[in-house]
Amino acid sequence: MSKKATAVAPSNLAFIKYWGRKDEELFLPANGSVSVALDGMKTTTTVEFSDDFTTDSVTLNGLLLEGFGLARVVKHLDRIRDLAQIGQKVRVVTNNSFPTGTGLSTSASGFAALTMAACAAVGLELSSKELSILARKSSSGSACRSIPDGFSEWYDGDSSETSYAESFLPADYWDLSFVVAVVSDKPKHVPSTVGHASAQTSPFFETRRSLMPGRIEKTKELLKKKDFTALGELVEAEALELHTIMLTQKPALIYWSPGTVVLMQTCQKWREEGEIEAYFSLNTGQDMYFMVRSKDEAKLVSMLEQTGIVKEIIINHPGKGAVLSDDHLF
């Protein structure tokens, strides 16, 4: 007997970032985080468990996964097989609608979609909170933030049961645009999950941790008040602080490419010269996010195009979380 299901999950952008873990086994982050689900960048995943399969296979964007990539997915599927008490082998086909491994959180959307599809396939009926907890354990902790809709907080819980993401504002609360500039589609050299493990070697890590509870409250307050300028300044400073930790941990992690630095400087110059009020963010990769009010979206896209260094532009707005779909990939 075989069991098949498909899920579609969004990527998410963290205003307040997850970096470092207080529990490596349970994937409990060193601090809470705040994010928004993005409607323009998605992973679609079909999972089938069947007695007919003799091995586990995972196809990502048309290529069979091997090594670390395959092991990461199979480990997570083993968790779900244990919960469902089945031993059947699995076939997974998964497609990202946006570049993989360049700092745009494909593992967040990927592991959220995998968790939801695999649970549905085996008939596990989990609540949004339970799915978020399970997605967190996948090794891409931020996958827990790709389950809920709109603007979410991943709580700084001290146990597995209290470390999950929940929506605090719906997707249509505020007309914001998150324009992604792909600087290069070259995948990162160090996965985030490896970087988290040595975050605490930065001499600034504990200072950052101590500032987090206040910063999270502030971010939620600014979102609720729709204070764009204060939110933008906070989001950009937070991204730079994340990179300060990464640059000062051992071994140092340098995810920027020359184009990333040019775009950071250009964005600041645009604001200084009153051309457009855009703020940037970036994660573990060279590709970047620019936040503007939606009325400025078209202008920003044209300004990014004119820089001559952006390979692809992806427009996002606050979006829905993970959902099941009847459009199976096989």
Q: Where does this chain bind ligand DP6 (CB under 6 A)? A: 14, 17-19, 33, 105, 107-108, 140-142, 191-193, 196, 242, 283-284
When the beta carbons of 46 and 102 are compared against ligand DP6, the nearer one is 102
Q: Which is nearer to ligand DP6, 91 or 188 (CB)?
A: 188
Across-strand partners of 282?
288
- E-only strand ranges, the chain: 2-16, 21-23, 28-29, 33-50, 57-60, 63-64, 89-96, 151-154, 165-169, 176-182, 279-282, 288-293, 312-316, 323-325
Q: Which is nearer to ligand DP6, 212 or 301 (CB)?
A: 212
Nearer to ligand DP6, 146 or 177 (CB): 146
Q: Are 181 and 98 in contact (CB under 8 A)?
A: no
Q: Which is nearer to ligand DP6, 105 or 202 (CB)?
A: 105
Helix, strand, or coil here: 237? helix
Quote the least distance from Cβ 24 to ligand DP6, whole Å. 12
Per the structure block, which two tokens stand in for 157? 């819980």
Q: How many helices (H) and strands (E) does the chain have?
A: 8, 14
Backbone phi and psi for residue 101, each to the nearest 5 degrees, phi listed first: 75, 25
Closest CB to ligand DP6 among 9 and 301?
9
Task: Compute the least distance from the CB of residue 193 to ligand DP6, in Å.
Answer: 5
Task: Measure the CA–CA gap between 51 and 78, rounded to whole angstroms.
Answer: 16
Q: How far is the CB of 85 from ligand DP6 (least distance, A)?
A: 28
Q: In the 8-state DSSP scheme, what is residue 197?
A: H
Structure-derived torsion over alpha carbons of residues 279, 20, 25, 61, reported in degrees to the nearest 10: 40
Q: How far is the CB of 190 from ligand DP6 (least distance, A)?
A: 10
Which residue, 19 or 279, is less far from ligand DP6 as judged by CB?
19
Is the separation of the CB atoms in 100 and 106 below 8 Å?
yes
Q: How far is the CB of 319 from ligand DP6 (least distance, A)?
A: 16
